[in-house]
Amino acid sequence: MNESEPAPDEAPSIPPPNAPDPLAPVVERLAHIETALKDHFGEMRGLSRDALRSAHEETERQRNVAALGALRPLLNELLAVHDDLSRLIEHYSGAPAADPKDVAANLDGLRTELDEIFERRGVVPLRPLAPKFDRDTQRAVHVLPAEIASDDMAVVGEVRIGFHGPGGVVRRADVAIRRFAPDPQAPEAT
């Protein structure tokens, strides 16, 4: 017979009814540890969330600073053009009757200044204009009928200039094109 097993005629020893549970201190300690761990993990979750939010805000701030730094030279040049335009508006607002040629010459000077700003950054007009419509560099904004099939998709005018730069097309040119639509009533050529 195994020594750990009670003898068949012996009853197992049962603790008295008011005796303390020997596992009670262990269960109490485990409950205390569980509560402390939950509190600790909640605290860590909050700290992690705060750290991520803070890192995101700092990254966003640094990105904005870098973008402004990269754009500052261009912005300063454009602000100078803005100032020139403001002076022109102020000048012509007080003039009784401005000479249209004078106004046009001043506006052309501003456009030339902008062209120079763009050119210094490698942004230049798309030239020459493609004779046939090219959807990579042009955007058709007006469509005129073509009399003959060979005129289909021919560019007939530029509505707004396009520009390209070091990275490719900055803005496609807005153009007017011709489209040929055969007469459905006409007999087919054989």
Q: Where are the domains of the chain?
A: 23-121, 125-182
Number of Cβ atoms within 10 Å of the Cβ of 85: 14
The residue that leads in pLDDT, 184 or 88, is 88
Q: pLDDT tens for residues 29-70? A: 888 998 998 888 888 898 889 889 999 999 988 888 887 788
pLDDT for res 106: 87
pLDDT for res 11: 62
pLDDT for res 136: 94
Q: pLDDT tens for residues 150-189? A: 999 999 999 999 999 988 999 999 999 999 998 777 666 5
pLDDT for res 63: 85
- In angstroms, rounded to a whole number, what is the distance separating the alpha carbons of residues 119 and 38? 63
Q: Which residues pair with 168 in a beta bridge?
A: 165
- In angstroms, rounded to a whole number, what is the distance separating the alpha carbons of residues 188 and 65? 66
pLDDT for res 167: 87
Assigned architecture for domain 125-182: Roll (2.30)
Task: Specify the pTM.
Answer: 0.55
Mean pLDDT of the chain: 85
- In angstroms, rounded to a whole number, what is the distance separating the alpha carbons of residues 178 and 150? 10
